[in-house]
Structure 1
């Protein structure tokens, strides 16, 4: 399985299954990725080519002798991969086989140079994963080089030995490559599953159409479906097909990942439906700098002082009724929250008494980053937090005074809570043991692009 995983980097992005039809994500694997796979794929290809050779029937003597033949070593001198327009990937490998013929009385060792070429077709599987198959394969062999000590072997023996080995390798080498591809498909099949987003939410990716293959890249149209308690999150309006522009991101990146506005809208809708953005803000009653108590509120709201002559704790109950809105502009991502805040005071019988409620509007700057396989975010407040009194059980409330008192008390816990949530991240398309390395994130109008290297870790 380890050898298939390395070669599996060719299509090593997570692509599982759910019923939908339009892409919200586009993944392009570029030529730079093929160079990385070519280098890291030599070792598993060498192991795959270390095949068993059946005994050679030595007819040089009076008695027909079965003679053991063993491949001692395979050295892949060159492995090259390139995209084939409309097909998939072409593999070209040049290798030397060190072979030992256990001939009596003197064994024979030789090196057989060979080249192997195979075309791997990439299609869309019925379950939403890429399926790779070998559409053509052939191998060619040069004249064997006899190592020291074997020059005394009769020339006709060398001809027969080489013919035997070539006949075996001609079939087995292509079969080995085919087995690698089958192992790759099994590996990709294990990618079908849910990636956790939160305690009760997951994300799943799957292909929605056949890959687009050019001489420069393979592009996969992928949809991402977010689930809450096993039910998919569906946007209230029909999503629009996402098309990633041709030239975006960083030149020379192994992978280019495009995330549409719909992807962000779905993630924010999930947070809202899950109640993840709801929170309670409290303060320590005995703390000298605690502003969340009735004594402080009573200084600007007389009715609070009248109802609570003794200092009592105050709680800000923050609830997000509306869905957060992310806006993507060139080099600029913002997030708008409109929470409803209820201000409650603890009564002497430990019950909570509603004092007043506020409609709040917060504009946030959204900074995006990638860590291993997760898209993460951090926020900071843009401009001023806007507070409007929605209802009051304590008479008239001066909005400016409440803003001055509660603005900072509300702002920091909200940012801490929100950044903790966004810091958990959402898994990008990925395969087990594959990480994004040195990623760069670019914000465009209506979509986000991630340009990244890839690193496969056994």
Structure 2
């Protein structure tokens, strides 16, 4: 959870929809992300450049003879990507093409160096995903050279062959680069699909505006919508400003920096509360020496319980969260406040549950956040114990100083186990198909969370 967040408060992202707001996220791709794409993109680009060359009309004798020309190998020497301010990304590549010309009686092999440059425009489409296009692309050919062992070739013939190859490849190479970009568009479209959060809940991301592109990064504002039973979770509008992630923020050397507003966490907790996922029943067993949840133990502290239940019976704690949990994000510290309502019931001889008393509970928890497999997950521990007060009683006066130790002891572990199981399920972060977050570091700042992460792409 460690991480320096020295740049002050971020304003909360609140996008108004029918007097309600949607949680905000900022995704920033840094230079390291371009380096990674360059690295994993070399093999597919090298394969894409293996194009077919039309036959060469060899001017031997009095009649032009059609001679087959074939690319034997493409060796990609360089693939480099850099940001173009307010536009997108510039792709620069250099490759050596080994070409064979099937002349009779002896074929000719040559190496042709080619440099490629394409400007990739990055924009947002109407459905909220990134779209890439290539408005400009060019190829530059250096002089070809014959391979060692080839028969002596006149410079005139070599120039003719090279001119033929250049004319044939100029358009084809850019078409192949454009084809790779179109394949990326299909992949980028997977950002906006629904991702499950729980059995009846999902999250959907979409890009809300044109990307901001500087020489150091590309940043996009992302709307996160949480759904429960197909209905969005919307919170009242309390501000009209956008969530802005300062530069620099997080680890500048990371591939990606993801900023998550507190509003996203508020919506996630409200979704869990509305779904009833935070509710649980804690049941005592008569034959368990480690669980004092039975009428015999309570009867020693509350006389009326002993009077109503002369024979030991199991006791059940029904824990219900009527109030939405409250998360607080301070620099290097995140806490979660729960205010459960607990009904204490005992099993009667006819197996029906009989109400004994109810409790208002206040528990503060330390929240630790981490990233695993493109999901933000969490784990909690109790801060300062559990506060209990009697709400109603069907067993007369209750001395909470005596009852507190019993109830809090049996209450804490089941609550933590239940809550941590939910938090470990996690919420999917903005991502595309087959792309995973790796080596992620989570930093808590004042009112928001920053994730600095690398990526790995798995086919």
User: Which whole-Å CA distance do the structure 2 matches of 1:159 and 1:211 have between them?
Assistant: 46
Summarize deviations over 1:151-182 as a string: whole Å, max 9, x none. Answer: 42343322221111101111111111111111
1:52 aligned residue: 52
1:241 aligned residue: 242
1:452 aligned residue: 453
User: Which whole-Å CA distance do the structure 1 matches of 2:130 and 2:122 have between them?
Assistant: 6
**Shift of residue 23 of structure 1?**
6.4
Structure 1's consecutive aligned runs of 4 or more residues displaced over 6 angstroms after TM superposition are 19-23
User: Which whole-Å CA distance do the structure 2 matches of 1:236 and 1:337 have between them?
Assistant: 21
**Shift of residue 290 of structure 1?**
2.3
1:392 aligned residue: 393
2:99 aligned residue: 99
2:436 aligned residue: 435
**Shift of residue 272 of structure 1?**
0.4
For the pair 1:319 / 2:320, whether they are aligned, the reply is: yes
SS of corresponding position for 1:160: helix
2:420 aligned residue: 419
2:8 aligned residue: none
Mapped contact 1:205–1:223 kept (Cα < 8 A)? yes
Summarize deviations over 1:312-344 as a string: whole Å, max 9, x none. Answer: 110000000000000000110000000000001
SS of corresponding position for 1:190: helix
**Shift of residue 212 of structure 1?**
0.1
User: Which whole-Å CA distance do the structure 2 matches of 1:61 and 1:401 have between them?
Assistant: 112
SS of corresponding position for 1:57: strand
User: Which whole-Å CA distance do the structure 2 matches of 1:202 and 1:138 have between them?
Assistant: 44
SS of corresponding position for 1:191: helix
2:189 aligned residue: 189
- Any residues of structure 2 matched to 1:17-416 within 5 Å, and which? 24-238=24-238, 240-416=241-417
**Shift of residue 188 of structure 1?**
1.5
Relative to 1, partners in 2 of residues 1:361 and 1:264: Cα closer, same or farther, differing over 3 Å? same
Relative to 1, partners in 2 of residues 1:457 and 1:417: Cα closer, same or farther, differing over 3 Å? same
2:11 aligned residue: none
SS of corresponding position for 1:431: coil
**Shift of residue 237 of structure 1?**
3.4
Q: Which runs of 5+ in 2 are unaligned?
A: 1-16
TM-score by length of 1: 0.94
SS of corresponding position for 1:286: coil
User: Which whole-Å CA distance do the structure 2 matches of 1:244 and 1:155 have between them?
Assistant: 59
1:3 aligned residue: none
Mapped contact 1:23–1:241 kept (Cα < 8 A)? no
Number of aligned residue pairs: give it.
Answer: 441
TM-score by length of 2: 0.94
Mapped contact 2:22–2:224 kept (Cα < 8 A)? no
User: Which whole-Å CA distance do the structure 1 matches of 2:78 and 2:68 have between them?
Assistant: 29
SS of corresponding position for 1:395: coil
Q: Which runs of 5+ in 1 are unaligned?
A: 1-18
User: Which whole-Å CA distance do the structure 2 matches of 1:91 and 1:27 have between them?
Assistant: 22
- Measured on the aligned residues, the alpha-carbon RMSD in Å equals 1.5
Relative to 1, partners in 2 of residues 1:208 and 1:377: Cα closer, same or farther, differing over 3 Å? same
